[in-house]
Structure 1
């Protein structure tokens, strides 16, 4: 009798688990247009959480305005007929793997939800093979502009604000690396791929897109990372990208946040290696001079406010040997343990997080 009870319990658990899996599958493939493989049609639309109200007609009739062109393709700000706004990322023609290879990656990306990551709301494949990734539109500036723009009225980025931004980026990467059933490497960590809102909440874009690209196109991202000073020394091909190469790129990004300097090749042709700049300052005992002047405003003790620890952490992330770099979970822990003292309301319960966009 006890055996029968155990078998019945196992059977019930199996059926419920299978039912949950089917429900999950339905949740993430909520609506399809007519598939071009079935002859004619306008293409296929796959919806994910937060994009349930989108229709194929909405996407096809949206009026787009070019926001930027990246190695992956062209990004458009698109107006919907109902007045809403979305972001369309049109992947480069001929740059993507075939549909059967793309769909598992797309569905995996569509399931990722974290406050420091821009969520994928839908995916469209047209009858001629064109591929669109559909995201929320967030009217925020990217971190590169916040750090390096010289316009009047730009917000002052003191250490408390920069720390919050850095911690948000680290949390987003840690989630990709360790909190998913199948880990995701970002593959293109840089300040231009970080959006920052009015509460200084950072959100990463472009994560995992290299998995959609054919190898030679994906390798273009590696070449770009080298030019921008973000490439880990051991990374030669994108297929070798892993969590440790992401950590290296984060280290360069953290140095960019602390020093306020653009890494990599400048228009003049000169090359700025941020880790070398810090090493030189340490040897010459001028470490405090490498920090951006805005970072030091209001700081009484760089050690007590976690500034020196953040610099050491960034250099640890940029270690030439991959195995000695910390994990992103360790980076998050160190940043949390060394918060700046004078952080005002930045980390209050009501302002620590802001909503991740507005579902359509």
Structure 2
């Protein structure tokens, strides 16, 4: 039956008169009252929605907002919010990312240059959090000691006789300098600032006041996780003062917890007129369902007629705007994306309740950090396994696509240097969760230039081991059958270390399947600044050499202990890749490497570090065709590892140079392993 044949049955129903409206219930009134309301203040125009309330026009009932999230439009046409009795001007609001851009109004005007006039900026961390869009500036005021010799310290104009003032830019709020010299300063001032202002200040084009009054971003906490579910189910987020901890969702049929249920209208007292409406709607709904069922069966039958049966475990489909280009039959290539169903994943499906219990209800104390499209928590399963659980931020189409993409790719891979994937929740679960093995020793970035850098745990031989094992993982991905994988987000933050400092490459949310007969895949560039292949960024053409470029940046980080991007460096050296190319071309490797690794004191170390620098130079070529394939990079690193071992006289250090440090054999690259749990 063709679906068009069903329309004659629908037309009479569509022409039926609609019964008169009925008296709205109190619950339905709350549902309609909490809809987003248009609001304007000065030049700002937006819809006020949960968790905010607003003064004046656009005011909504208190049960539509969360306490403490009140916006006020003052007489100057500025939108204000108060945190811990401090006034902040709101210059932008982004409901999609739950972000406000704010300016501390208690700070002096930008033309002030004297650092002692400014004060610490703090936010209400019970209701808001800082974001990774900003960094922090600490000013050291009226210091009798000279701090210019300390790293990342810059001079400030001082208005106090007898002392000097300085400032430092750093990434983390609690990243403070530990030095006896700081005791010579009369005070310190810490403020967040917009990342785009950093280069201008370092170059001398902006004043301290411009940076402090330039604003910064905060993300609100109210409604995180559940409010998106409520809206996706057709409800409006709200607040019940009698049960403040409840996730109050107002639905057309009444009040719910978390999200609206399609069956929750049962048990409600319905008037006779409303019964008429429901009966009429039910008949129309049945016919509409019949129409869509017939349409689905018709389309499915046509597809089955055109497609032969397939033995593949996953169905691949090319997402919009990502079209493979090849010399051969590229139309046969399809990539894993959001249209892949969970039912095709050959992996274990966890119950949401099990993972909620394993993470103590996703407690903040269990949070490990950010995982690209979700927050990662440490948990312990009933069988005693320690796991890392990635929880999707919200169910936007792009994030769901990345979630399913990572699950689909990891479910078909197995290698000792890839993070082990245990499974995920099903598509019918309350939330989308991915479950991995717990890798306890942090990331390579943590140890090189992050929170654990002071431990100096990564000696040069161990860094060489890390390079070899990471290259082994990428070589496996690029050779896996039946369709290779391009990681597309290779960086030291995605290279985890286990208790024995062995590598576990993670985060496959941006990864793409790559056909053997394709020269590239046309797609909008994605990845992390500082690691993205410039040819990919310029031409929108992803290749397997894009991973090679990113890995070249990782190699430079290993020999230099410097981050891939650092706005506190000179303008021409903010990107580590550009700095490395410049230094290596000028035969100035000694100005690039971390000398604490033994470059100046140990000849074998100097030789092998130079060899890695030369390999990184080849990986960082602007033209992708000039870069070596990842398998060749792996082979060269193994040879350097043997050179390192020979230089040590065959002795094993605390972290040996042994070529056998890829600690376990991996499954054949010619087969797709079955990893279902």
Counterpart of 1:94? 395
Counterpart of 1:299? 602
Gaps of 5+ in 1: 1-20, 26-42, 213-217
Return the TM-score normalized by structure 2.
Answer: 0.40
Give the stretch that moved more between structures: 160-169 or 78-87. 78-87
Which of the residues 624, 647, 670 maps onto 1:322?
A: 624
Counterpart of 1:353? 663
Which of the residues 50, 53, 58 maps onto 2:354?
A: 58
Distance of aligned partners of 1:351 and 1:199 in 2 relative to their CA distance in 1, 3 Å threshold: farther
Separation in 1, partners of 2:442, 2:400: 33
Separation in 2, partners of 1:140, 1:91: 23
Separation in 2, partners of 1:89, 1:287: 40
Distance of aligned partners of 1:231 and 1:269 in 2 relative to their CA distance in 1, 3 Å threshold: same
Separation in 2, partners of 1:129, 1:99: 13
Whether the 8 Å contact between 2:548 and 2:629 is mirrored in structure 1 is yes
Counterpart of 1:344? 652
Counterpart of 1:254? 555
Structure showing greater Rg: 2
Whether the 8 Å contact between 1:210 and 1:238 is mirrored in structure 2 is no
Separation in 2, partners of 1:278, 1:152: 21
**CA displacement 1:54-74 (0-9 Å, x = unmatched):** 666523432232221243121
**CA displacement 1:122-160 (0-9 Å, x = unmatched):** 021353673211101121121001111475971442221
Counterpart of 1:180? 481
Larger % of helix: which? 1
Distance of aligned partners of 1:127 and 1:193 in 2 relative to their CA distance in 1, 3 Å threshold: same
2:465 aligned with 1:158: no
Separation in 2, partners of 1:322, 1:189: 16
**CA displacement 1:23-69 (0-9 Å, x = unmatched):** x89xxxxxxxxxxxxxxxxx989663xx69x6665234322322212
Distance of aligned partners of 1:56 and 1:279 in 2 relative to their CA distance in 1, 3 Å threshold: closer
Distance of aligned partners of 1:86 and 1:47 in 2 relative to their CA distance in 1, 3 Å threshold: farther
Whether the 8 Å contact between 1:46 and 1:122 is mirrored in structure 2 is no
Larger % of strand: which? 2
2:534 partner SS = coil
**CA displacement 1:256-294 (0-9 Å, x = unmatched):** 111111121436895522233234334554322321113
Whether the 8 Å contact between 1:233 and 1:320 is mirrored in structure 2 is yes
Separation in 1, partners of 2:416, 2:537: 31
Counterpart of 1:310? 612
Separation in 2, partners of 1:265, 1:292: 16
Separation in 1, partners of 2:540, 2:396: 15
**CA displacement 1:307-347 (0-9 Å, x = unmatched):** 22211110111100011111110100111112113371636
Whether the 8 Å contact between 1:45 and 1:123 is mirrored in structure 2 is no
Separation in 1, partners of 2:560, 2:569: 20
Separation in 1, partners of 2:587, 2:660: 41
Return the TM-score normalized by structure 1.
Answer: 0.71
Whether the 8 Å contact between 1:46 and 1:124 is mirrored in structure 2 is no
Counterpart of 1:281? 583
Whether the 8 Å contact between 2:564 and 2:577 is mirrored in structure 1 is no
1:203 partner SS = strand
Residue 116 of structure 1, CA deviation: 0.8
Separation in 2, partners of 1:273, 1:100: 30
2:465 partner SS = helix
Counterpart of 1:114? 415
Give the stretch that moved more between structures: 330-339 or 178-187. 178-187
RMSD (Å) for aligned C-alpha atoms: 3.9
2:453 aligned with 1:145: no
2:603 partner SS = coil
2:411 partner SS = helix
Separation in 1, partners of 2:407, 2:453: 40
Higher RCO (Cα < 8 Å, 6 or more apart): 1
Counterpart of 2:503? 202
Which of the residues 510, 534, 541 maps onto 1:233?
A: 534
Whether the 8 Å contact between 1:45 and 1:122 is mirrored in structure 2 is no
Separation in 1, partners of 2:471, 2:591: 25
**What count of residue pairs does the alignment treat as equivalent?**
307
